[in-house]
């Protein structure tokens, strides 16, 4: 078998994602809507498996964590306090000729092959003018001045629709956790160090083309704010970094494609004293998958200041009062799904020369766990297959398929990443055994029906 290079694979992955009901372009019947996508029937299962496993790993299986589901709309003052109203900007530049709009740092990086991180708007404008940068879309050399553009979507809360009623869709889930910090310490028996985990939607008005679901305007984050004493930040940071690597392995990402990228001091977000990204070798380049930041006591202090409320924590033994510091591991759901699709995708040439497209998902996150086929659409094979299917369906997401040649049915499940297929044939009627086919090796073994659940339970952990 030969395996094609991962660099060639985003286009076929996008095609497979649509063909097999993982990801559809948003509002397609209206010609699409930039950087939005729907997760189809298999995409939603994959996403759900990721989120459920994350919640189990980081909330249920730890004694130092609790969960929260905060609102998308927070009091507008929260975004002043967090620094997002002032500082959550991209510098945008427009081509006057074709009206194309670009992120100025990306334009500079692509056309001048310079790293534009940390440059001021003025410095970027100077670079564009001095180097006579041309529009990548139409070739004209006629740009507006670059200017700041806030990434937060806004809406209006009341009937008047006036500026005073403006509310923002959260650009990160994190702030909802800080706003409920006092509620959590008042109502739960948590003690520093402890963390709060949350999964939810975030919105960013991203204008740049997003490499499929890598950069979208509406996405989900799985975030943890982990509250500590200041002197524990370095060792807690290290521990979380290792836990994030473990998570990547747990969902089946190839460790050789996951790397760490330290943010240089001058590129840190306004709240961070140290940030390390876990980056992944996507087909379009190595880019941010997850982030780990030391947010210090910035957020709690600012919310205390802007709300006028006391957000100190009191140590239950010493009665010492202090504002905890925060380590924040953050995980994007869409980027996880994209990395999983890229990692799992393979187009193999089999020994007989046929091509096989397969998603080698880890059984833990595969949307469909088992597919059940009668060898032919004939009684009593159908009745027996339906009986097995109904038994397994109570435990796992299973599919029943009786249509077409068996080889085609296997190929369809390979493209969905289903780890196991079961075939009910004439021998089944004689001895109550089925054929269990492994997706990756394509090997088949005979298994007694009464041992199926135990065997699959072991394989699907």
Contacts with ligand GAP by CB under 6 A lie at 172, 174, 204, 206, 215-216, 219, 221, 223, 288, 290-291, 328, 330, 332, 334-335
C-alpha 71, offset from chain centre: 20
Residue 458, C-beta contacts closer than 8 angstroms, at least 6 positions apart: none
Residue 223 CB, nearest approach to ligand GAP (Å)? 6
414: exposed, middle or buried (C-beta count within 10 Å: 0-12, 13-18, 19+)? buried
Q: Are 365 and 252 in contact (CB under 8 A)?
A: yes
Nearer to ligand GAP, 177 or 388 (CB): 177
Residue 7: asked if its preceding bond is cis (omega within 30°), the reply is no
The structure tokens listed for 241 are 């970094």
Which residue is nearest to ligand GAP, using beta carbons? 332
For residues 342 and 22, give the distance between their C-alpha atoms in angstroms, rounded to a whole number.
13
- Helix/strand/coil for 250: helix
Nearer to ligand GAP, 335 or 369 (CB): 335
Give the nearest distance from C-beta 210 to ligand GAP in angstroms.
7
Nearer to ligand GAP, 185 or 221 (CB): 221
Radius of gyration over every alpha carbon of the chain, rounded to an integer in angstroms: 26
The distance of closest approach from Cβ of residue 315 to ligand GAP in the complex, given in angstroms and rounded to an integer, is: 27
Least separation, in Å, of the C-beta of 179 and ligand GAP? 14
Residue with Cβ nearer ligand GAP (57 or 393): 57
- Asked if 384 contacts 424 with a C-beta cutoff of 8 angstroms, the reply is yes
Q: In terms of DSSP bridges, do strands 398-400 and 370-374 run parallel, antiparallel, or are they unpaired?
A: parallel
- The DSSP-derived string for 342-395 is HHHEEEEE-TTS-EEEEE---TTT-S--EEEEESSS-TTHHHHHHHHHHHHHTT
Helices (H), 195-279: 233-250
Q: Is the dihedral of CA 206, 209, 215, 218 positive or negative?
A: positive
Name the residue among 399, 395, 403 with its Cα closest to residue 452: 395
If we measure between CA atoms, which residue out of 425, 408, 422 comes closest to residue 459?
A: 422
- To ligand GAP, the closest distance from the beta carbon of 90 in angstroms equals 11
Contact criterion met (CB below 8 Å) for 373 and 402: yes
In the complex, minimum distance from the CB of residue 150 to ligand GAP, in angstroms, rounded to a whole number: 14
State the nearest-atom distance from the C-beta of 239 to ligand GAP, in Å. Answer: 19
- Nearest approach, Cβ of residue 339 and ligand GAP (Å): 9
What's the min distance (Å) between Cβ of 218 and ligand GAP? 8
- Separation of first and last alpha carbons in the chain: 27
């Amino acid at each position: 078998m030969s395996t094609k290079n991962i660099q060639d694979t985003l286009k076929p992955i996008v095609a497979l994602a649509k063909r097999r009901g993982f990801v559809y372009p948003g509002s397609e019947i209206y010609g699409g809507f930039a950087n939005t996508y729907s997760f189809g029937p298999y995409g939603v299962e994959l996403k759900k498996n990721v989120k459920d496993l994350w919640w189990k790993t980081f909330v249920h299986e730890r004694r130092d964590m609790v969960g929260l589901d905060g609102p998308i709309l927070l009091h507008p003052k929260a975004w002043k306090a967090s620094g997002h109203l002032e500082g959550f900007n991209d510098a945008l530049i427009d081509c006057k000729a074709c009206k194309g709009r670009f992120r100025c740092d990306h334009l500079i990086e692509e056309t001048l092959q310079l790293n534009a991180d940390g440059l001021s708007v003025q410095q970027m404008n100077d670079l564009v003018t001095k180097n006579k940068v041309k529009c990548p879309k139409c070739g004209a050399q006629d740009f507006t001045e670059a200017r700041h553009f806030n990434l937060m979507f806004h809406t209006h809360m009341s009937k008047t629709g006036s500026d005073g009623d403006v509310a923002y869709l959260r650009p990160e889930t994190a702030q909802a956790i800080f706003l409920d910090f006092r509620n959590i310490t008042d109502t739960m028996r948590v003690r520093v160090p402890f963390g709060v985990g949350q999964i939810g939607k975030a919105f960013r008005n991203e204008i740049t083309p997003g490499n499929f679901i890598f950069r979208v305007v509406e996405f989900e984050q799985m975030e943890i704010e982990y509250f500590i004493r200041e002197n524990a930040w370095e060792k807690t940071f290290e521990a979380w970094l290792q836990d994030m690597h473990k998570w990547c392995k747990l969902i089946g990402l190839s460790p050789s494609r996951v790397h760490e990228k330290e943010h240089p001091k001058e590129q840190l977000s306004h709240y961070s004293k140290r940030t390390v990204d876990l980056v992944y070798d996507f087909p379009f380049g190595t880019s941010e998958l997850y982030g780990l930041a030391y947010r210090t006591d910035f957020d709690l202090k600012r919310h205390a200041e802007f709300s006028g409320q006391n957000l100190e924590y009191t140590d239950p033994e010493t009665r010492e009062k202090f504002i905890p510091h925060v380590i924040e591991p953050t995980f994007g759901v869409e980027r996880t799904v994209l990395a999983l699709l890229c990692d799992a995708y393979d187009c193999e040439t089999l020994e007989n020369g046929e091509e096989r497209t397969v998603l080698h998902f880890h059984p833990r996150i595969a949307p469909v766990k088992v597919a059940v086929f009668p060898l032919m659409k004939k009684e009593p094979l159908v009745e027996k297959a339906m009986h097995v299917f109904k038994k397994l369906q109570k435990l796992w997401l299973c599919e029943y398929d009786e249509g077409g040649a068996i080889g085609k049915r296997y190929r369809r499940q390979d493209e969905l990443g289903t780890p196991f297929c079961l075939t009910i044939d004439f021998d089944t009627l004689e001895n109550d055994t089925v054929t269990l086919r492994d997706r990756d090796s394509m090997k088949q073994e005979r298994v007694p029906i009464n041992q199926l659940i135990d065997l699959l339970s072991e394989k699907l952990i």
